Amino acid sequence: MNYSVQKIGQILHALTQVEGTVVTGISFDSRNVQPGDLFVALVAENDGHHYIAQALQHGAAAVLVDDQHQIDTNIPAVIVPDTLIALQNLGQYRRNTINPKVIAITGSNGKTTTKDMTSAIMSSQYKTFKTPANFNNEIGVPMTLLSMPDNTEVLVIELGMDRPGQLTLLSQLVRPDIAIITMIGEAHIEFFKTRENIAKAKLEIIAGLKKDGILLIPESEPLLTNAHIEGKVQTFGENVTSIVSEISETKFTYLHTRFAIPLLGRYNIMNALAAISAGILLHIELENAVEALRHFDLTKNRTEKLTTSHGVNLISDVYNSNPTAVAAVLATLKIIPATHKYVVLGDMLELGEQAASLHACLAQTVIDANVDSVYLVGPLMKKYLYPILQQRFDSAHLHQYETDQLAELIKDLQTLGENGDVILLKASHGIHLENVVNALVK
């Protein structure tokens, strides 16, 4: 990004001042401003206009402000009616100017892992840029577009949603050539009420799909395969053979080619197949995809395999959680060879009025996993799952903690298990089990 204040004003049809100033980056958080950035004063829970002075002190070259706030005429500025809309319009301009092939990814689970896999595959033959961290909402998506290098040939971008209409906006911003829906789960069911409504909302990803674009969907999800979808649709997930799951990797054969991914879990094969399918559409050689998936970089806390100081294997999957995701990871835990297996489950959030039944329904899944002990965290687990599991586990093998008792949980887990044993941790991010993980691997 290398735009003058005058150029940005022209792009946004906005008023400007001190027009000759050039910006080389962008930030909406005054604490993270780098010299040369355009500071975007967003109006949200905290009004970004209150932090303009701090942003300038950190080196912001110019500011993007709304016309409801006064600003010193000596400060390089672009003045607009709405800074969020302006940020989105500026991001869309950059997307169209660079004009890379765009692969947009959404889904109830697996979208970040699929993004990482897809980016690795594309990087084997193209100059590729991907969504940083989880910048996948109305702010993060345009920030991703504006952070994209000038020479980007393929953009792999993650699109999140928690309400109807959100994916329509994001898809129209990025105008994908390829759109991927990883799966339909119960995430955000508090707001959508049914999985059918979630599927409908996920299908908004085709709102901005190019005329000749292609939507990739899992062949095992009837809510998608049976939907009436306009445009080209391809499925992924078929014809996979010779699956071998191990603690450090999962192997499978697809299109007569042997793949290995550094993740446990058969559900991650579906993420890999989505990425491979996108690669095939952009003419990636299969041998390049094999090598890319063998060593790809995974975003932290997505089915991450770690080891404690005394050799216990940790499976950290603590960024989000819902019943479908919990069932999938517990099914994987069941087939992992280990002398002892332990599971730590934290509350699944944003399930609304279905929270009681969806937590309770985990009981049989936990029992079927054949674990030695269960550690539950949070009021939902305590109220709805703990009483059912008490019928199967005695007090020495079933433990319960409030969300403010993570220190006690850490203490109990630090001496748990021996070399080669496995501890699985799974919860919604709001339970903050990442703090437990960090303490165990110190």
Write down the pLDDT at residue 94: 98
The CA-based angle 107-324-382, given to 5 degrees, is 125
Write down the pLDDT at residue 324: 86
165-169 CB contacts, 8 Å cutoff, 24+ apart: 165/204, 166/137, 166/138, 166/201, 166/204, 167/106, 167/201, 167/202, 167/204, 167/205, 167/207, 168/204, 168/207, 168/208, 169/88, 169/138
Q: Where are the domains of the chain?
A: 3-80, 99-294, 304-440
Domain 304-440 has CATH 3.90.190.20: yes
- Rounded to whole angstroms, the Cα distance separating 245 from 337 reads 10
- Rounded to whole angstroms, the Cα distance separating 181 from 253 reads 22
Report phi then psi at 35, rounded to 5.
Answer: -55, 130
Write down the pLDDT at residue 301: 59
Residue with tokens 């002892």: 340
- Rounded to whole angstroms, the Cα distance separating 269 from 252 reads 8
Segment (H or E) for 286: helix 286-294
Task: Give the pLDDT confidence of 326-347 residue by residue, as tens digits.
Answer: 998 898 888 888 899 999 999 9
Topology of the domain covering 99-294: UDP-N-acetylmuramoyl-L-alanine:D-glutamate ligase (3.40.1190)
- Rounded to whole angstroms, the Cα distance separating 259 from 107 reads 23
- Rounded to whole angstroms, the Cα distance separating 87 from 41 reads 10
Token readout for 164 is 């109807």
Binding site residue list for ATP: 107-113
- Rounded to whole angstroms, the Cα distance separating 119 from 103 reads 9
43, with CB counted inside 10 A (0-12, 13-18, 19+), is middle
Write down the pLDDT at residue 133: 83
Mean pLDDT, the chain cut into blocks of 10 residues (442 residues total): 96 96 96 97 94 97 97 97 98 98 94 96 98 93 97 97 94 98 83 89 97 97 94 95 89 97 89 98 98 89 80 90 89 88 95 92 95 97 97 96 97 92 94 95 83
From the list 249, 273, 235, 232, the residue with the least C-alpha distance to 118 is 273
Residue pair 167/204 in contact by the 8 Å Cβ criterion: yes
Task: Give the pLDDT confidence of 348-405 residue by residue, as tens digits.
Answer: 998 888 999 999 999 999 999 999 999 999 999 999 999 999 999 999 999 999 999 9
Binding site residue list: 107-113
Write down the pLDDT at residue 47: 96
Write down the pLDDT at residue 373: 97
DSSP SS3 for 171? helix
- Rounded to whole angstroms, the Cα distance separating 430 from 442 reads 22
From the list 122, 115, 174, the residue with the least C-alpha distance to 302 is 115
From the list 219, 189, 224, the residue with the least C-alpha distance to 361 is 189
Task: Give the pLDDT confidence of 30-78 residue by residue, as tens digits.
Answer: 999 999 999 999 998 899 999 999 999 999 999 999 999 999 999 999 9
DSSP SS3 for 395? coil
Topology of the domain covering 3-80: 3.40.1390
Crossing angle between the packed helical segments 83-98 and 5-12, to the nearest 10 degrees? 100
DSSP SS3 for 436? helix
What is the DSSP code (8-state) at residue 299?
Answer: P
- Rounded to whole angstroms, the Cα distance separating 432 from 405 reads 11
